[in-house]
DNA sequence: GAACTAGTTCGATTACAGTCGAACATACAC
DNA sequence: GTGTATGTTCGACTGTAATCGAACTAGTTC
């Protein structure tokens, strides 16, 4: 759970590994899938550091597949998620990942999807 | 193939992607396997930057499984391999990977296998 | 040429991961 | 209470990857 004590407006956070529990091999595995890598990259480059809903970034997949990928990203410790009403708000755990794996998120920012 | 033209003592290099062709998602995928991550880490920390044979670092797997993993490491662009007589000599492509993905190899060096 | 060694290939098995449709749960608006 | 929207779960299917034994290849030593 995020560092500060939960208040009313901060409840609804989904379970996530603590900073010290984030494993490099889990993060690398999550990011090795181009679809997830693209999601994280979009949040880093275009979300402006604020929470965005799942539908903010269009994922060309059925809902169940999207749910699967968001779960992988959260459980690996890359994304933080909380429910607000109907929708899930997501952010990249930039502070945690920069502390644990300095430079990794810069590589994600610099990555470009392979041309079709 | 390595940048300089092959001479007699440099023949035997196995096919590998050119520096510009090394893909982040391929490298992350190769490194997401703890066995391979451990191999690369050992070469970075203990090989002293010189070529070492496949058997220099004991991999607790049958030969065919080891062949499989070495192939993944080479084809992703992480390891460079060449045959000398019977054995394969391996090095981490540190210069290439530092140029392409600055900081990534430091994360590998800093990684520690999960306690059993 | 035989024996030994490092490593490969093949094919099969197992495990894991990505895929998705259908049914479902929940929050919200009216 | 109904309708709509976001997202989940379940189970099944498909694809990918790790596993390994057996047979094999090639280099080296004697």
Strand (E) positions, chain A?
52-53, 79-84, 87-92
The per-residue pLDDT for range B1-58, each reduced to its tens digit, is 454 444 444 568 999 999 999 999 999 999 999 999 999 999 999 988 888 888 888 8
**Residues of A (32-61) whose Cβ lies below 8 Å from B:** 32-34, 37
CA–C1' span, A12 to D26, in Å?
63
**Cα→Cα distances A108→A72, A94, B43, B70, B110, Å:** 17, 12, 25, 25, 19
Residue from the list A23, A32, A102 with its beta carbon closest to the beta carbon of B28: A32
* Token digits of residue B52: 């070492």
Cα separation, B19 vs B79, in Å, equals 12
Instruction: Answer whether A106 touches B (CB < 8 Å).
Output: yes
Report ipTM (2 d.p.): 0.89
CATH number of A13-109: 1.10.10.10
Q: Which nucleotides of C are covered by protein (CB under 7 A)?
A: 5-11, 17-23, 26-28
In chain B, positions 82-101, which contact chain A (CB-CB < 8 Å)?
Answer: 101
User: Taking CB atoms and an 8 Å limit, are B111 and A24 in contact across chains?
Assistant: yes
State the burial class of residue B27 (Cβ atoms within 10 Å of its Cβ: 0-12, 13-18, 19+).
Answer: buried
Q: What is the mean pLDDT of residues A2-10?
A: 44
pLDDT tens column, A40-57: 999 999 988 888 888 888
Distances in Å between the Cα of B60 and the Cα atoms of B51, B65, B66, B69 are: 21, 9, 9, 12
Q: Could you say which architecture CATH assigns to the domain B20-108?
A: Orthogonal Bundle (1.10)
CA A58 / C1′ C16 distance in Å = 27
Report the b/e string of A77-110 with b at 16+ CB within 10 A.
bbbbbbeeeeebbbebbeebbeebbeebbebbee
Tens-digit pLDDT profile for residues A76-101? 999 999 999 888 999 999 999 999 99
What number is the average pLDDT over the span A4-31?
81
Residue B24's closest chain A neighbor by CA? A111
Task: Report the alpha-carbon distance of residue B98 to residue B109 in Å, rounded.
Answer: 13
* Domain ranges, ordered by start, for chain B: 20-108
φ, ψ (nearest 5 deg) of residue A85: 65, -125
């Amino acid at each position: 759970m995020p560092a500060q004590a939960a208040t009313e407006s901060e409840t609804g956070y989904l379970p996530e590994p603590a900073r010290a529990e984030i494993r490099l091999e889990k993060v690398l595995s999550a990011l090795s899938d181009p679809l997830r890598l693209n999601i994280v990259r979009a949040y880093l480059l275009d979300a402006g550091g604020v929470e965005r809903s799942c539908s903010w970034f269009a994922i060309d997949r059925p809902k169940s597949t999207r749910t699967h990928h968001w779960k992988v990203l959260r459980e690996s410790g890359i994304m933080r998620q909380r429910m607000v009403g109907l929708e899930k708000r997501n952010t990249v755990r930039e502070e945690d990942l920069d502390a644990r794996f300095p430079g990794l998120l810069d590589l994600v920012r610099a990555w470009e999807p392979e041309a079709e």
